[in-house]
Amino acid sequence: MIIIDSALKKRQADNNPIRVAMVGAGFMGRGVALQIINSTPGMKLVAVSNRNLDQARRAYNEANVQDVVVVETVAQLEDAIAQNRYAITDDAFLLCQAEGIDVIIEVTGAVEFSAQVVFKAIQHGKHVVMMNAELDGTVGPILKVYADKAGVVLTNVDGDQPGVIMNLYRFVKGIGVKPVLCGNIKGLHDPYRNPTTQEGFAKKWGQNPAMVTSFADGTKISYEQAIVANATGMRVAKRGMFGPTVEAGTPITEAVNWYPLEELLQGPGIVDYVVGAAPGPGVFVLGTHDHPQQKHYLNLYKLGEGPLYCFYTPYHLCHFEVPNTVARAVLFSDAAIAPIAGPCVDVVATAKIDLKAGQLIDGIGGYMTYGLAENSQVVDQGRLLPMGLAEGCRLKRDVPKDQVLSMDDVTVPEGRLSDKLRAEQNAYFSN
């Protein structure tokens, strides 16, 4: 983003950096810290919160910042920022309240806790950048309503695949080609993977086994494409999406032949994915054009005869591009990816094993459920259980493997903000 680097250089020259605070210092959060501190002039990571303070300290240490101060109150945090010191805390809500912070990056991957943090940050006039498709795909539309009313930007991140898809979508639309499919390239899809099967991979890369499981079992791809749908107005053509598997290394340009043409050309378009195509893990957009002369030009430019044309980005660089999102939000009031209205696609909880009455459902990337993308209208009509609300619910009855759970199958824990926001979202967008 060429305009971003110029704007950040000016902030650096003016000694007026964007003041960033981050909630969550796990594998991805530490990467974000490294990127901001070492590679992003005009931006300063003034504070990091993590429930384990050693992890927050580690985020700074890995970026060669050794002198950090532990803060326990908003006043202490404000003093640290004023003194140009780096602060760590185990209380994320301090970051939401401090006047010396412009934007909050949320990197926890949780739903309920993240909902509380994001909501509090919005209430205190902070821009919010979420590395959290799960929260976004559960209550993102209503959080966007609150953000708009507060005059702040709420956005998911560039760098992760949904943000990269949106960059490509905006490009394709901007040159006059109509996007009809927003796609995601994956290397594996197995809904029955669990933290035990993924333990080795997680250990190799220093990642959380539950997070890795959510990538493998399809829950993550469902959330990623759900938030793309909510940002574009697209739908899924069927529950779980088509998700064709092709021979490893098959060029993504062949994607023009993998999806039913009528599903793409009728209606608002669809979100979907493919397993095995190259370059992976990239993203792609299929578009169409109805002007004969422009179609002639597109053919000349090696995109084929149509009616579908394939545009793709061969990579996504996750944490490397997060500072771009921060700059877009703070300096240009531009969201990388955010809901445009009410929910179009949700993610519903589906039994990974035979579930028994009385059991408490574990979390995303666990042993008990996986997520499937489904059109929000179907979810509402069927009272299906959103995956983001499933954790901690108690089963009222047995549910067989691969059956989608309904709200009537479970007892929901009391007092959760995420449930309150979900109810508000349903009511707000039902009118």
Q: Are 232 and 279 within one domain?
A: yes
CA distance 133 to 156: 7
Flag whether 421 is in a domain: yes
Q: Are 64 and 204 within one domain?
A: no
Measured in degrees and rounded to the nearest 5, phi and psi for residue 415 equal: 85, 10
Flag whether 139 is in a domain: yes
pLDDT at 1: 60
Structural domain count, the chain: 2
Q: Are 356 and 379 within one domain?
A: yes
Strand partners for 284: 183, 312
Flag whether 270 is in a domain: yes
Q: Are 237 and 207 within one domain?
A: yes
Q: Are 10 and 82 within one domain?
A: yes
pLDDT at 204: 86
Q: How many CA atoms lie within 13 A of 251 on its CB side?
A: 5
Q: Are 78 and 194 within one domain?
A: no
Q: Are 325 and 348 within one domain?
A: no
pLDDT at 348: 98
CA distance 418 to 245: 35
- HEC readout, the chain: CHHHHHHHHHHHHCCCCEEEEEECCCHHHHHHHHHHHHHCCCEEEEEEECCCHHHHHHHHHCCCCCCEEECCCHHHHHHHHHCCCEEEECCHHHHHHCCCCCEEEECCCCCHHHHHHHHHHHHCCCEEEECCHHHHHHHHHHHHHHHHHHCCCEEECCCCHHHHHHHHHHHHHHCCCEEEEEEEEECCCCCCCCCCCCHHHHHHHCCCHHHHHHHHCCHHHHHHHHHHHHHHCCECCCCCCCCCECCCCCEHHHHHHCCCHHHHHCCCCEEEEEECCECCCCEEEEEECCCHHHHHHHHHCCCCCCCCEEEEECCCCHHHHHHHHHHHHHHHCCCCECCCCCCCEEEEEEECCCECCCCECCCCCCCCEEEEEEEHHHHHHHCECEHHHCCCCEECCCECCCCECEHHHEECCCCCHHHHHHHHHHHHCCC
Q: What pTM does this model have? A: 0.96
pLDDT at 270: 98
pLDDT at 208: 86
Flag whether 337 is in a domain: no
Tell me, what CATH number does 156's domain have? 3.40.50.720
Q: Are 371 and 256 within one domain?
A: yes
Q: How far is CA 379 from CA 21, 273, 382, 383, in A?
A: 35, 21, 5, 6
Q: Are 138 and 249 within one domain?
A: no
Range of the domain at 153: 2-160+320-332
* Tens digits of residue pLDDT in 167-189: 999 999 999 999 999 999 999 99
Tracing tokens 């531009």 back to the chain, one arrives at 334
In the chain (431 residues long), the average pLDDT of successive 10-residue segments reads 90 98 96 98 98 97 97 98 98 97 95 98 98 97 98 96 97 98 95 93 86 92 98 98 97 97 93 96 96 97 97 94 97 97 98 98 96 98 98 98 98 98 97 67
CA 277 to chain centre: 22
Q: Are 22 and 167 within one domain?
A: no
- The first and second tokens of residue 156, run together, are 């998911």
Flag whether 428 is in a domain: yes
State the virtual CA torsion across 196, 114, 24, 51 in degrees, nearest 10. -90
* Tens digits of residue pLDDT in 110-168: 999 999 999 999 999 999 999 999 999 999 999 999 999 999 999 999 999 999 999 99
Q: Are 194 and 222 in contact (CB under 8 A)?
A: no
Taken as a whole, the chain contains a residue count of 431
CA distance 329 to 155: 8
Flag whether 226 is in a domain: yes
Q: What is the CA radius of gyration of the chain?
A: 22
Q: Are 15 and 156 within one domain?
A: yes
pLDDT at 431: 67
Q: Are 299 and 399 within one domain?
A: yes
134 burial via Cβ count (<10 Å: 0-12, 13-18, 19+): buried
